[in-house]
Amino acid sequence: MISIPNQTPSHRIDRRIYGQFAEHLGRCITEGVWVGSDSAIPNRNGIRTDVVEALRHIRVPLVRWPGGCFADEYHWLKGVGPERQPMVNTHWGGVVEPNDFGTHEYFELLNQLDAEAYINGNVGSGTVAEMQDWVEYMTLDDTAPMAELRKQHGRDQPWKLEFFGVGNESWGCGGNMLPLQYAYQFRQFQTYVRNYGDTPISKIACGANADDYTWTDVLMANAAEHMNGLSLHYYTIPTGSWSAKGSATDFDEYAWHETLRQTRRMEELLQRHSAIMDRYDPAKRISLIVDEWGTWYDVEPGTNPGFLHQQSTMRDAVVAALNLNTFHRHGDRVRMANIAQMVNVLQAMLLTDGARMIKTPTYHVFDLYQDHQDAGFVAVPSSYTGAPDGLGVDGDVTVSRKDGGVTISATNTGLDREIEAAFELPGRISDVTRAQILTGADFRSHNTFDAPDEVALTDLPVRIDGRRVRFTLPAHSVATVRVTHGD
Ligand code: AHR
């Protein structure tokens, strides 16, 4: 039995933890989001209506764009105005990027999603002036040249730019820099990311690759006063080896457990990076932003290796739940995360094939977790602090409070046993406003274009007894129960 305390939540779970990442990579933007207004695929201003509708349903709070590695070779002027200038996407398949989805189309997508902007600027191959001009183009409201250019391109009002990343993976594809070298670059570039509008821009510095704690230390020591956020990238690779990552769908029980072991490293990474940040920023002014996370497998057979197209099974659903639970626990420092990536790439929410679109098991977890967005975090035992009382070693759980209700999300990470989950609320339960579960016939179950609902949410029977709620979690499942209670 897990007892849910009545105490004031220790911190808020920022809705931006549910952020998405959309890069010009494979079929994420082109086809996945952008089809152009002449397309036979239903669209509004060139953006797929099925994709927007699905993403609105899970209340996507913000989208990071245009990369990733792509960001550090993106020259934004090629993607505005009537004459777009194509470029080669050197990182991702060497294909020609037509630049027909640029700044204006990105803000149109955000408008349709009702989401915030997180743009990643080019430090690796760009100039300070180019970055300054882009910020002016987006946010300046007067007769200055960049604002005039925007108006010529059909947009009078500046846009709101909430977040701006100064370089991406500057230790790798973004310029192969050393930590102190990047700290100096960050200090210089960020100077010209100026605030013109009413919305101050949060400046995000490029953070560490997984467990590179030196990077975090050097950045915090040399540039903390200029940043609002420091990023972290960590991908879950079942084998831990980039050269043979393993299949997304054809895997055994050993690979299931290894994948979960790899994903659980996120806990240690957040603890240790946060501890370093605490030394320089004890008031936690600077956010730790996990702006790339998720599973990374070998690409689907027969697809372009540079397109990073992979399927998503119940294993990905459980990975998503474990990571979201981890972000919730660290929500006093982790105030944004962006799963990689939104459509058709890596651990995607949605997969498309021409006019068809399917929701992945990962999408359904984001749906199940909606009520945690901007809710108060309630600390309960989790599998990181020892086996949660009553859920055993295979159980993991996260709890939050919002709008007079308590949301409990519980996961069975095991493959052979069901778990009898039991929770005791501080008062008599008056209503159950949501009770749904996600599972599959098999731990490899996934959705296909021929069987789009193989893995889908179903109603979960719950048993209420005064202050107690009980339900059964079958093997490899994720569930959410939301209740209201009296005193
Ligand atoms: O998400 C795919 C790639 O992974 C990104 O472009 C890069 O930042 C990371 O290495």
Q: What is the structure's pLDDT at 381?
A: 77
Residue nearest to atom 2 of ligand 1 (CA): 68
Nearest residue (by CA) to ligand 1, atom 8, is 68
Atom of ligand 1 nearest to the CA of 168: 8
CA of 327 to the centre of ligand 1 (A): 20
Name the residue with the closest Cα to ligand 1, atom 4: 68
Atom of ligand 1 nearest to the CA of 172: 10
390: how many CB neighbours lie within 10 A of its CB?
A: 18
Q: Please, which residues bridge with residue 468 across strands?
A: 424, 465
97-128 pLDDT, tens per residue? 999 999 999 999 999 999 999 999 999 999 99
- The pLDDT, as a whole number, for residue 274 is 98
**Residue of 69, 91, 97, 296 to test ligand 1 pocket, by largest number of atoms within 8 Å of CB:** 69
Give the rounded percent of residues in the chain with a pLDDT score beyond 70.
99
Q: Are the CB atoms for 120 and 168 separated by under 8 Å? A: yes
Provide the pLDDT confidence category of residue 277 given band limits of 50, 70 and 90: very high
Ligand 1 centre from 449 Cα, in Å? Answer: 27
Q: Is the per-residue pLDDT at 92 higher than 70?
A: yes
The token pair at 332 is 């006093």
Residue 384: its pLDDT value, please? 60
Measured torsion, CA atoms of residues 4, 6, 8, 13, in degrees rounded to the nearest 10? 30
Whether the predicted pLDDT of 385 surpasses 70: no
How remote is the CA of residue 227 from the centroid of ligand 1, in Å? 22
Residue at 380: amino acid letter: V
Q: How confident is the model at residue 393 (pLDDT cuts 50, 70, 90)?
A: confident
Q: Which of 5-9, 21-25, 213-217 has the lowest mean pLDDT?
A: 5-9
For 482, the token pair is 């939301």
Atom index in ligand 1 nearest the CA of residue 292 equals 1
Site to probe by mutation for ligand 1, drawn from 233, 245, 289, 309 as the one with most ligand atoms within 8 Å of Cβ, is: 233
Q: Give the distance (Å) from ligand 1 centre to CA of residue 93.
A: 13
Element (H, E) at 335: strand 334-340
Atom of ligand 1 nearest to the CA of 23: 6
Q: 131-161, pLDDT tens digit by residue?
A: 999 999 999 998 899 999 999 999 999 999 9
Residue whose tokens read 């609105």: 56
Which among 480, 483, 487 is positioned nearest to 469, based on CA atoms? 483
Which residues does 366 contact at the CB level (< 8 Å), separation at least 6? 18, 58, 320, 349
The strand pair at 116-121 and 163-166 is best described as: parallel
CA angle 185, 188, 194 (to 5 degrees): 130
Ligand 1 center–CA 291 separation, angstroms = 10
Q: Which among 292, 418, 424, 454 is annotated as catalytic?
A: 292
Specify whether 292 is catalytic.
yes
Sign of CA dihedral 446, 34, 52, 17: positive
Tokens representing residue 370 in the block: 């909606």
Give the residue, out of 27, 29, 64, 169, with the most ligand 1 atoms within 8 A of its beta carbon, to mutate for a pocket test. Answer: 169
Determine which residue's CA is closest to atom 3 belonging to ligand 1: 68
* Average pLDDT over every residue of 345-370: 98
Tell me the average pLDDT of the chain: 96
Asked if residue 2 lies in contact with residue 423, where contact means CB atoms within 8 angstroms, the answer is yes
Q: Whose CA is nearest to atom 7 of ligand 1?
A: 68
CA 172 to centroid of ligand 1, rounded, Å: 10
Beta-sheet strands, E only, within 105-253: 116-121, 163-166, 202-209, 229-236
Task: Tell me how long the chain is.
Answer: 487
CA of 340 to the centre of ligand 1 (A): 8
Could you tell me if 158 and 198 are in contact, meaning their C-beta atoms sit under 8 angstroms apart? no
Ligand 1 atom nearest the C-alpha of 70 is 6
Ligand 1 atom at shortest distance from the alpha carbon of 340: 1
Say if residues 87 and 141 touch (Cβ distance below 8 Å). no
Asked if the peptide bond before residue 341 counts as cis, ω within 30 degrees of 0, the response is yes
> Which one of 31, 116, 169, 258 is the catalytic residue?
169
Could you give the C-alpha distances from 270 to 213, 219, 276, 329, 443, in angstroms and in order?
A: 11, 16, 10, 10, 28
The total of other beta-carbon atoms located within 10 Å of residue 211's CB is 15
Q: Are strands 95-97 and 350-353 parallel, antiparallel or unpaired?
A: unpaired
> pLDDT at position 198, please?
84
Write the DSSP assignment of 438-474 as a string of letters.
EE-SSTT-B--SSSTTSS-EEE---EEETTEEEEEE-
Alpha helices in 163-297 (DSSP H): 179-191, 213-223, 253-263, 265-280
- The predicted pLDDT at position 1 comes to 86
Residue nearest atom 6 in ligand 1 by C-alpha distance: 68
Ligand 1 pocket residues where CB is under 6 Å: 23, 67-69, 168-169, 292, 340-341, 346
Please write the tens of the pLDDT for every residue from 414-447.
999 999 999 999 999 999 999 999 999 999 999 9
Measuring CA to CA, which residue among 139, 140, 144 is closest to residue 160? 139
Q: Does the pLDDT value for residue 387 go beyond 70? A: no
28: number of Cβ within 10 Å: 29
Mean pLDDT of 3-13: 90
pLDDT value at residue 383: 65
Distance 171 CA to ligand 1 centre (A): 12
Cα–Cα dist 67/436, whole Å? 34
Going by the DSSP 8-state scheme, the letter that residue 78 receives in this structure is G
pLDDT tens for 171-229 read 999 999 999 999 999 999 999 999 997 889 999 999 999 999 999 999 999 999 999 99
CA–CA separation, 406 and 483 (whole Å)? 5
Q: Binning pLDDT at 50, 70 and 90, where does residue 388 land?
A: low
Please report how many Cα atoms fall inside a 13 Å half-sphere around the Cα of residue 351, on the Cβ side. Answer: 24
- Strand pairing report for 334-340 and 19-21: parallel
